[in-house]
Amino acid sequence: METLTKRGRPKNEELLALRREDILAFATEKFSQYGYQRTDVQLIADGLGLGKGTIYRYFSTKEELFLATVDRGMVGLNACITAATASIEDPVNRIAMALSAFLGYFDEHPEVVELLIQERAEFRDRENPTFRLHREKNIGPWHTLLEELMAAGRVRTMPADIITGVISDTLYGKIFTTYFGGKRRTFQSQVNEVLTVIFAGILSDDERGKLSDYLLESQE
């Protein structure tokens, strides 16, 4: 005789997603406030009015929960940049707006800066930190855009990955040095400085010619 397996009620995927987001939002607040080591999963569960076991049904370890909060922050950053640049047709203006949105996002979400710092401190053995994983995942379209600008003669010809690498290092450097310095200025207030140096450089055309041996050769 065939044995029938009883089926429970189907999971409400939307409800599960909302619960997961509630956990991540609250965990982000507590990790950024107290640090990874001092934040216990029980603290998060109590704050949400949940059992500790419920948290572990979504995230099997405290480490997994923490890294998910960092990932959530990076997903939010990409969504912010995408929304800010979606309607901008001119590619140079689109890049400028992307840099502005990048810095503005961390003004609105300083807790994400804190999580990035903690990730580096607590998980030094990770081959690829979360910010780098997201950078590699989302950088392709920007390389394409830069190559199109080079073909149109609007950007000097050089490897696109060098451009994005320098810009990325500059932006993250600006975020961390400002944050460690007590954030006396907003990130957004520094956008024009970043854009001026990255887009226009600091040397005149004549001076760039004198230093040609030290600058990237044209790839034309």
Q: What is the model's pLDDT at position 209?
A: 74
| Shared domain check, 87 and 156 | yes
Using alpha carbons, list the distances in angstroms from residue 215 to 5, 68, 155: 70, 41, 15
Q: CB–CB of 69/97 below 8 Å?
A: no
- Biggest CA–CA distance in the chain, Å, is 91
- What's the whole-number mean pLDDT along residues 192-211? 85
The torsion angles phi and psi of 11, rounded to 5 degrees, stand at -70, 140
**25: how many CB neighbours lie within 10 A of its CB?**
12
| Shared domain check, 113 and 73 | yes
Q: What is the model's pLDDT at position 13?
A: 87
pLDDT at 160 over 60: yes
pLDDT at 4 over 60: no
| Shared domain check, 42 and 85 | no
Q: What is the pLDDT of residues 45-60, one digit of tens each?
A: 999 999 999 999 999 9
pLDDT at 40 over 50: yes
Measured CA to CA, the distance from residue 163 to residue 143 in angstroms comes to: 9
pLDDT at 138 over 50: yes
Q: CB–CB of 149/92 below 8 Å?
A: yes
Token duo for residue 190: 């520094």
How much of the chain, in percent, has pLDDT values that exceed 70? Answer: 91
Q: Could you tell me if residue 193 is inside a domain?
A: yes
Measured CA to CA, the distance from residue 53 to residue 30 in angstroms comes to: 18
pLDDT at 1 over 60: no
Q: What's the N-to-C CA distance of the chain in angstroms?
A: 77
Token duo for residue 219: 């790839």
Measured CA to CA, the distance from residue 195 to residue 103 in angstroms comes to: 12
| Shared domain check, 141 and 177 | yes
| Shared domain check, 76 and 96 | yes
CA angle 175, 163, 77 (to 5 degrees): 40
pLDDT confidence tier of residue 186, bands split at 50, 70 and 90: confident
Token duo for residue 129: 């930190």
Token duo for residue 126: 């990770």
| Shared domain check, 75 and 125 | yes
- CATH number of 77's domain: 1.10.357.10
**58: how many CB neighbours lie within 10 A of its CB?**
16
Of 43, 60, 77, the one marking the end of a domain is 60
Q: How many domains does the chain have?
A: 2
| Shared domain check, 115 and 51 | no
